[in-house]
Chain A
Amino acid sequence: MDAFLSQLAALGVDAATLSTALWCAAGAVVSGIATWGFLGGSPWPSRLLAALGVGALVGTGAVMLEPAGADAELDTPLPERVRNAGYASSDTCRSCHPGQYESWHQSYHRTMTQVATPTAVVAPFDGRVLSERGHHFQVARRGDGFYFRALTSPRALEVDEAWFDEAARLVMTTGSHHMQAYWFEASNGELQQLPFVFLIREQRWLANSDSFLEPPHEEDDNLVVYTWSSSCVTCHSTGGPWDGRADHVDSTPEVRVAEFGISCEACHGPGEEHVAANRSPARRYQQHGGDEGDRSIVNPGRLSNERSSSICGRCHSVHPDGQGQRVHEFRPGERLDGYLSIDPMLALTDQAGVLADVSWLPFDERDTVGSFWTDGSSRVAGREHSAMIRSGCYLDGEMACTSCHSMHDYRERAGQMAMAPEDDAMCTECHADHARDVTAHTHHAADGVGSRCVSCHMPYTAYALLMATRSHRMDGPRASGRGGRDRPNACNLCHLDQSIGWAEVWLSRWYGADPPDQRTRMDDVPAGVHWMLRGDATQRGIAAWHMGYGPTQAASDLGDLEPALRSLLGDPYSAVRQVAGAALLRLNPDVDVDMEAIARDPITQPLTDPRLAQMATERNEMQVAIPE
């Protein structure tokens, strides 16, 4: 039954809809049979027609009498969805652009924010208790509603009517791909986040504070709680706040948005004018016949790479502290740098592109700094625009986000790639010379991972959501990563068991990079060990993630590195511990790692090798916070 319901859910049919349909069908059949019997003396064609007619009437009437869906039943107000400030809504777009609507509808952009219905909610609300820092919450479901209740102890209460009387209803969800967060109305009227998220792939609950790469909150028993109006509304909805005034956000909790999720008008701009203009068939056919495009709406495909990418960058870029709310005012077609410092590290890097000493900065500002490696590359996944704008292909070429990604013609849903995710054609479209003799350029087997463009030019050096993702600063590999905040290099991320000096030697031989000095040649510490023991939290997390990455496991002998990986189960950062635990499980599925336990507390794994133990004392303790 569950499998059947899951299949229906995949088709967009939830249990409530199915139930309604079955009841209506049953009503139609029963009333039809009754009519047939009632007209017993009439000729059979008349009886058949009458039975069918009455059955159809009853079935239709039952559908119309069915109460409105869970959305309408919510007793807690959601952010108001209004068609204002020029927004028309995706439903309006659908009538003329059904194909584009459908491709968007299938995307994770649409489901970024949803009303908390059984179709949207992926976590189990089964009466379990979630605990974090002495706070306890019990979650449960009644009908189509999802509830939580704060408890004074971790002991689960019986979930009965009295329980629900004291519980708060969750009204909205954000996220549907990697993790999902839940929102409720706080006593001040604000929508606040339940302080736990649900990891979808791992199918486990996790405290908010443990889902981010954040320093441990010692002697602090306050839970991490986010408010919708200040944290999420900009990028997790369309047209929010509706009037585009930054001060509107703080002035009232009654945030209004055009639409939940990232819909058509997030990329194309408010569409009301476009809809009004195109009521005229003469205008539409004139547009169809011309090549100029419709000026009443923004088509990112017709913009320059800078303006086109600004649309994605509005959300997919690091928002320097204090500037995040200004992007409310950005509209597609504009330049993003008119609203925020799109490369905040320029002011903090020297002429060689190396990040200056930032230890003197107050923590809040280091939060921004912590989003970048010392070479100015973004190291936060989901902030790809900040990385891409430092790429030669963007600065000197015409590359835009849409060169590789597509919102409507994507090959795969997760990354909305226009081509297969690691297809060299994304690069060889311009760099055709490298495609002619791949091995001559890569020095790796032509059909192997080492010869894919993205392996060397877009290594996994960005972090978020408990995993590494590809850097979107497309550049040539350098033997970087020696410093505690330096970007790990592409060579050693596959060859974790080799030293950085080893990578330097090969880059020198193959590509004419500066040859390493004698000291570097003598360095025999595997890069993986160096990063896992001496690096800052991001380096540690990224190196640990690669320990579980298939191509790295194939290219490296990781046996000697496992003690360093195990030691990360005692890392002060919960996120690093979880990444290390997941990598250990991928290395050896039989290993005993309790992911929920290591998420909560460090599990110290002493390093018996004195050399490794010494390296661990050299750990870069600079606090890192990647709130993604």
Chain B
Amino acid sequence: MATVSKRVGFHLRFGWWSLLFFLTLGVALEAMHGFKVGWYLDVDNEVRRLMFTLAHAHGALLGLVHVAFAATLHIGQPRDWAPVFASRALTIASALLPLGFFLGGFGIAGGDPGIGVLFVPVGAVALFVAVALTAWSLRRVGS
């Protein structure tokens, strides 16, 4: 029980701090719109804008997922190994997905994002695993 509580606390903290961080990033992106920063807005930098927007969106959304995951742990009380792995996978995904998108905004060429975008598919796999394990671990809850 103590372990679950610890994990719930971790995901709540992670989720809310993520939301704060990516909210700040969103404000920074809006500021670049406001000040018409060519490095972000020029047609040549379309890919950079897309990547940064995706980093902001995924980061913020995953922050909410962390809060939802904490609630799931607290309400559903799944006790087997799956939530432990799901927790780790979700944490990895929450780091790699926004980071990959963000780094993809640097070194853009020929309509392609920078090489940092390679973190994204790894993060996507981790997120898929996290969601699948969470869903599976709840198979007996309430039944």
Interface residues of chain A, those whose CB is within 8 Å of chain B, are 95-99, 101-102, 278, 281, 284-285, 287-288
Contact = CB atoms under 8 A, between A and B. Distances in A.
B114 to A, nearest CB: 9
Of listed B45, B107, B110, B115, residue having the most chain A CB within 10 A: B110
Nearest to A284: B112
A96 B112 contact: yes
A96 B43 contact: no
Contacts of B111: 95-98
Contacts of B109: 288
Given A97-B110, A97-B111, 16 more contacts: A95-B111, A98-B44, A98-B46, A99-B42, A99-B43, A99-B44, A99-B45, A101-B43, A102-B43, A102-B44, A278-B110, A284-B110, A285-B115, A287-B110, A288-B107, A288-B109
A97 B44 CA distance: 8
Contacts of B115: 285
Interface of B: 42-46, 107, 109-112, 115
29 contacts: A95-B111, A96-B110, A96-B111, A96-B112, A97-B110, A97-B111, A98-B43, A98-B44, A98-B46, A98-B111, A99-B42, A99-B43, A99-B44, A99-B45, A99-B46, A101-B43, A102-B43, A102-B44, A278-B110, A281-B112, A284-B110, A284-B112, A285-B112, A285-B115, A287-B110, A288-B107, A288-B109, A288-B110, A288-B112
A296 to B, nearest CB: 12
A281 B109 CA distance: 12
Contacts of B42: 99
B109 to A, nearest CB: 4
A28 B110 CA distance: 39
A372 B45 CA distance: 46
B29 to A, nearest CB: 19
Of listed B45, B109, B115, residue having the most chain A CB within 10 A: B109
Contacts of A97: 110-111
A85 to B, nearest CB: 24
B108 to A, nearest CB: 9
A153 B109 CA distance: 62
Report, nearest first, the 3 A-B pairs whose CB atoms are least far apart: A99-B44, A96-B111, A102-B43
Nearest to A93: B111
A96 B115 CA distance: 16
Q: Is the interface of A mostly helix, strand, loop or mixed?
A: helix
Nearest to A101: B43
A496 to B, nearest CB: 45
A195 B42 CA distance: 43
A477 B45 CA distance: 46
Contacts of B110: 96-97, 278, 284, 287-288
Contacts of B44: 98-99, 102
A291 to B, nearest CB: 12
A570 B42 CA distance: 53
A595 B110 CA distance: 50
Contacts of A288: 107, 109-110, 112
Contacts of A278: 110
A288 B118 CA distance: 15
Contacts of A102: 43-44
Nearest to A408: B44
A280 to B, nearest CB: 11
Nearest to B111: A96
Contacts of B46: 98-99
A97 B108 CA distance: 11
A97 B111 CA distance: 6
Contacts of A284: 110, 112
A104 to B, nearest CB: 11
A96 B107 CA distance: 14
B107 to A, nearest CB: 8
A96 B109 CA distance: 9
Nearest to B107: A288
A608 B109 CA distance: 69
A284 B111 CA distance: 10
A102 B38 CA distance: 14
A285 B117 CA distance: 12
Contacts of B45: 99
Nearest to B43: A102
A102 B42 CA distance: 10
Contacts of A101: 43
A96 B46 CA distance: 10
A281 B115 CA distance: 11
A475 B122 CA distance: 61
A96 B45 CA distance: 11
A278 B111 CA distance: 11
A388 to B, nearest CB: 30
A288 B111 CA distance: 11
Contacts of A98: 43-44, 46, 111
A97 B112 CA distance: 9
B52 to A, nearest CB: 16
Contacts of A95: 111
B41 to A, nearest CB: 12
B44 to A, nearest CB: 3
A401 B43 CA distance: 25
A88 to B, nearest CB: 14
A477 to B, nearest CB: 41
A567 B93 CA distance: 83
Nearest to B109: A288
A281 B113 CA distance: 11
A285 to B, nearest CB: 7
Contacts of B43: 98-99, 101-102
A26 to B, nearest CB: 29
Contacts of A99: 42-46
A98 B108 CA distance: 12
Nearest to A94: B111
Nearest to A99: B44
B112 to A, nearest CB: 5
Of listed A96, A97, A285, A287, residue having the most chain B CB within 10 A: A285
Nearest to A281: B112
Contacts of B107: 288
Contacts of A281: 112
A93 to B, nearest CB: 10
A347 B115 CA distance: 57
Nearest to B44: A99
A618 to B, nearest CB: 58
Nearest to B47: A98
A579 B70 CA distance: 81
B100 to A, nearest CB: 14
B126 to A, nearest CB: 21
Nearest to B118: A285
